[in-house]
Structure 1
Amino acid sequence: MGSVNNAGPMRVLVTGGSGLVGKAIEHVVQEEGGKHEEEEWIFLSSKDADLVCKSGRTVSTHEGEPALLVSDSLQRSSQRDNLKINDNVLQTAHEMGVTKVVSCLSSCIFPDRTTYPIDETMIHNGPPHDSNFGYSHAKRMIDVQNRAYFQQYGHRYTAVIPTNVFGPHDNFNIENGHVLSALVNKTYKAKKDGTPVNVWGSGSPRRQFIYSLDLGRLIVWVLREYNEVDPIILSVGEEEEVSIKEAVEMIAQSLDFKGKMLFDTTMSDGQMKKTASNAKLRRYLPNFTFTPLQEAIKMTCDWFLANYDIART
Structure 2
Amino acid sequence: MDSRGHAAPTRVLVTGGSGLLGKAIEHVVHEEGGRLEGEEWIFISSKEANLLDIEQTRAAFEKYHPTHIIHLAAKVGGLYQHMRENLQFLRDNLKINDNVLQTAHEMGATKVVSCLSSCIFPDKTTYPIDETMIHNGPPHDSNFGYSYAKRMIDVQNRAYFGQHGRCYTAVIPTNVFGPYDNFNIDNGHVLSALMHKTLTAKRDGTTLTVCGSGTSQRQFIYSLDLGRLILWVLREYSEIDPIILSVGEEEEVTIKDALEMITQSMDFKGPIRFDTAMSDGQLKKTASNAKLRRYLPDFTFTPLREAIKTTCDWLVANYDSART
**Structure 1 residues 264-303: aligned runs within 5 Å:** 264-303=275-314
Task: Give the C-alpha shift of residue 58 in structure 1.
Answer: 2.6
Separation in 2, partners of 1:101, 1:284? 19
TM-score computed with the length of structure 2 as normaliser = 0.93
Cα 1:6/1:278, change in 2 over 3 Å: farther
Residue 60 (structure 1) shift:
4.0
Is residue 200 of structure 2 the alignment partner of residue 159 of structure 1? no
- CA shift, 1:196, in A, is 1.6
Q: Would the alpha carbon gap of residues 226 and 86 (structure 1) be closer, same or farther in structure 2, given more than 3 Å must change?
A: same
Map of 1:232 onto structure 2: 243
Where do 5+ consecutive residues of structure 1 fail to align?
none
Instruction: Kindly indicate whether the alpha-carbon contact (under 8 Å) linking 2:122 and 2:136 is maintained by their aligned counterparts in 1.
Output: yes
Tell me which residue corresponds to 2:83: none
Say if 2:220 and 2:246, in contact at 8 Å, map to a contact too: yes
Work out whether residues 74 and 105 of structure 1, in 8 Å CA contact, stay in contact via their aligned partners in 2.
no
Task: Report the alpha carbon displacement of residue 86 of structure 1 after superposing the two structures with TM.
Answer: 1.3
SS at match of 1:85: helix
Counterpart in the other structure of 1:93 = 104
Contact 2:74–2:93, Cα closer than 8 Å, also in 1 = no
Q: Matches of residues 76-225 of structure 1 in structure 2 within 5 Å?
A: 76=76, 78-225=89-236
Indicate the residue corresponding to 2:27 in structure 1: 27
The answer as to whether partners of 2:75 and 2:89 remain within 8 angstroms in 1 is: no
Structure 1 residues 136 and 62: CA distance shift in structure 2, 3 A: closer
2-side partners of 1:221 and 1:88: how far apart? 25
Q: What is the CA deviation profile of residues 91-115 of structure 1, one whole-angstrom value per residue up to 9, with x for unaligned ones?
A: 1011000010000001000000000
1:6 deviates by 5.0
Q: TM-score of the superposition, structure 1-length normalised? A: 0.97
Answering whether residue 17 of structure 2 is matched by residue 17 of structure 1, we say yes
The question of whether the paired residues in 2 share the 8 Å contact of 1:48 and 1:59 is answered with no
Asked if structure 1 preserves the Cα contact closer than 8 Å seen for 2:171 and 2:242, the reply is yes
Take 1:75 and 1:278, find their aligned partners in 2: how far apart are those partners?
A: 26
C-alpha RMSD of the superposition: 1.2
Judging changes above 3 Å, is the alpha-carbon distance between structure 1 residues 56 and 262 closer, same or farther for their aligned structure 2 residues?
same
For 1:268 and 1:297, the matched residues in 2 are separated by 24
Structure 2 residue aligned with 1:72? 72
The alpha-carbon deviation at position 59 of structure 1 amounts to 3.2
Distance 1:212 1:252 in 2: 20
Structure 1 counterpart SS, 2:45: coil
Residue 69 of structure 2 corresponds to residue 58 of structure 1: no
Letter in 1 for 2:145: G
Name the CA distance, whole Å, in 2 between partners of 1:19 and 1:59.
Answer: 21
One-letter amino acid of the structure 2 residue matched with residue 46 of structure 1: S
How far did 1:73 drift? 2.5
In the other structure, the counterpart of 2:85 is none
C-alpha distance after superposition, 1:189-215 (max 9, x if no partner): 010011121000000000000000000
Q: Which runs of 4+ in 1 moved over 6 A?
A: none
With over 3 angstroms needed to count, the CA separation of the structure-2 counterparts of 1:101 and 1:194, relative to structure 1, is same
Where 1:160 maps in the other structure, the secondary structure is strand
Aligned residue for 2:11, secondary structure, equals: strand
Deviation for aligned residue 1:7: 3.6
Q: 1:75 offset after TM fit, Å?
A: 3.4
Q: Which residue of 1 aligns with 2:79?
A: none
Q: Is the 8 A contact 2:181 2:323 kept in 1?
A: yes
Change (3 A) 1:64 1:16: closer
Tell me the distance in 1 between the aligned counterparts of 2:145 and 2:15.
22
Aligned residue identity for 1:101? V
Structure 1 match to 2:273: 262
Partners of 2:6 and 2:238 lie apart in 1 by 19
Q: How many residues align?
A: 309
Distance 1:83 1:62 in 2: 22
